[in-house]
Amino acid sequence: MGCGYGLDQLLLRAGNLTGPGFEAGPELREFMQSEDCRILCVGAGGLGCEILKDLALTGFVNIDVIDMDTIDVSNLNRQFLFRMHDVGKPKAVVAAEKVNSRVAGVKVTPHFCRIEEKPADFYQQFAVIVLGLDSLEARRYMNSVVCGFLEYDDEGNPENVKPMVDGGTEGFRGHARVILPGHTPCFECTLGQFPPQTKFPLCTLAETPRSPAHCIEYAHLILWGQERHSLEFDADCEEHMTWVYNQALLRAQQYGIQGVTYQLTQGVVKNIIPAIASTNAIISAVCVLEAFKLITMVSTGLNNYFMYMGAQGVYTHTEKMSKAEDDDCPVCSAGVLLSVQPNMSLQQVIDAILVHPVLKKHLVHPSLSYGATNLYAHGIYEQETRPNLEKPISELVVLEEGKSYALLTVNDKKIACTPT
């Protein structure tokens, strides 16, 4: 009842601070509670639990949550939707059950899987996607997904924009940002602003370890390559992480080093900084408020980056981030220009892509397509498309009449872009 009354105060009255296109009326609340207004929360950890709670209490009814992790006892100090008897269960499933039982009328649908396992159509159905992640790689993947829906008309205007709100916390610091592909900088545009991860000299790890982190990184970076070189390390695989933990523990015992734990192993390998519950609550509130404003236009939205610093007092700051220089982001721009000769083979085109000053920073094993046709693809289509590598590009790509360029789609394992 209180939630409905509060919504009516915002949605049924006009005001001086409303966003562009806002029209007061009961239709907005009806839309928020309809099947057409589905919200996706990516992550059900410390920040994700707060986001789910805030979404439900704000008045959103149809909410989905996706997370691949299970509940660990170390989560219980800040991930308030979980209890001791939930340890070992999927976070997404338990979080959905708790919110559904506590907030009447809300339907939270869980998805216990990796975000990469869902097809693009799954993400297309949501009005807004809210990220509560602690991984740079996962953010880049979700950024590529929403930017993959982006299209440009003949005049260069963006269409089919999928809004995304990204939240993140590190100890007493946090951020929230609104990403409107084609309008605001995407995650890839500002990737250079993220601080580099802490790295240890390999000689220290191999010869003179002095801390638990040295032992863990020795097992992760050196031993894994020596003893399990045929298997790619997956930080999200429990068996892999357990192996690193056991090896790090043996290394620590050899050098009389105390303090190697499974939780610390996860933190060092994934570069995780301990989370603070109050920071999660603050950043979640900002993220959900921005999602609410995107849906209703009840107020002008964030433009486009919010920072919170609570280590010494409380300080917040908003900043308008800029898109990539010359608008040449390979993920969210209309395309990156690549000049090739008609007689170049497809393999030569791929080689040119991999040395392109913009594209080479983002691609490792590219697959190319033209429209609905796979020119060359890794994975299950590799054998079928391999003969195309020797064919001239002019044979594979026929230019439309009156045009001097073609739009190719270049996909990689963790990033998607469309150079022209």
CB 37 within 8 A of CB 126: no
Facing residues of 275 across strands? 171
Matching residue, tokens 């592909």: 181
In this structure, what are the phi and psi dihedrals at residue 167, rounded to the nearest 5 degrees?
A: -120, 150
Query: What HEC string does 185-218 produce?
Result: CCCHHHHHHCCCCCCCCHHHHHHCCCCHHHHHHH
CA distances from 154 to 10, 115, 151, 157, 332 (A): 38, 32, 10, 8, 16
In this structure, what are the phi and psi dihedrals at residue 50, rounded to the nearest 5 degrees?
A: -65, -40
Matching residue, tokens 């269960």: 89
Matching residue, tokens 């580099």: 196
Q: Within its chain, how far is the Cα of 305 from the centroid?
A: 16
CB 287 within 8 A of CB 133: no
Length of the chain (residues): 420
CA distances from 297 to 6, 52, 308 (A): 16, 21, 24
CB 353 within 8 A of CB 365: no
CB 149 within 8 A of CB 178: no
Q: What does the block give as tokens for 58?
A: 């704000």
- Give CA–CA dist 306/76, Å, rounded: 28
Catalytic residues: 203
Amino acid identity of residue 171, one-letter, is G
Radius of gyration of the chain (CA): 24
Q: State the DSSP code for 356.
A: S
Residues 6+ apart with CB under 8 A from 201: none
